[in-house]
Amino acid sequence: MPDGLAWTTANLVIQIVTGVLGAHIAAAAAHEHRFGFLGHTLVGAIAGAGSGWLLQQLVVTLVTEAGTVNGVSAVDNAVIQGFTGLVVGGCAMLAVGLVKRLSEEHKASGEKSPKE
């Protein structure tokens, strides 16, 4: 396996922390999808861990135009892992916030069935 593609705990921690940050940044930007500090933290941590576990090897694969894999420096790797965590944490928070908001609106509408 080329340098930089091995799974590491440091990369996972970077993505968990940046996933939490991404969730809180998205919550600050989208007020209508907020659901609490603890909720944002949990969703961001879970999304960051999931992206770290599932996407870690994919995000650090840098390929040249000839199709060979470039080695990734430690700084490049940290930046890539951090950016991935931010994006996935923010997207997950927005998705969960949207589902929560839509379910609350549905309950508030009286839960009338479409047949009535």
Mention every residue, 6+ apart, whose C-beta is less than 8 A from residue 49: 12, 15, 16, 19
Residue 113 lies in a domain: no
**Domains contained in the chain, number:** 1
pTM of the model: 0.76
- For the stretch 26-69, pLDDT in tens is 999 988 888 889 999 999 999 999 887 777 666 666 677 777 77
Q: 3-state secondary structure string, 25-84?
A: HHHHHCHHHCCCHHHHHHHHHHHHHHHHHHHHHHHCCEECCCCCEECCCHHHHHHHHHHH
Residue 10 binned pLDDT confidence (cut-offs 50, 70, 90): confident
Structural domain span for residue 19: 9-101
Residue 15 lies in a domain: yes
Percent of the chain with pLDDT over 90: 34
Residue 46 lies in a domain: yes
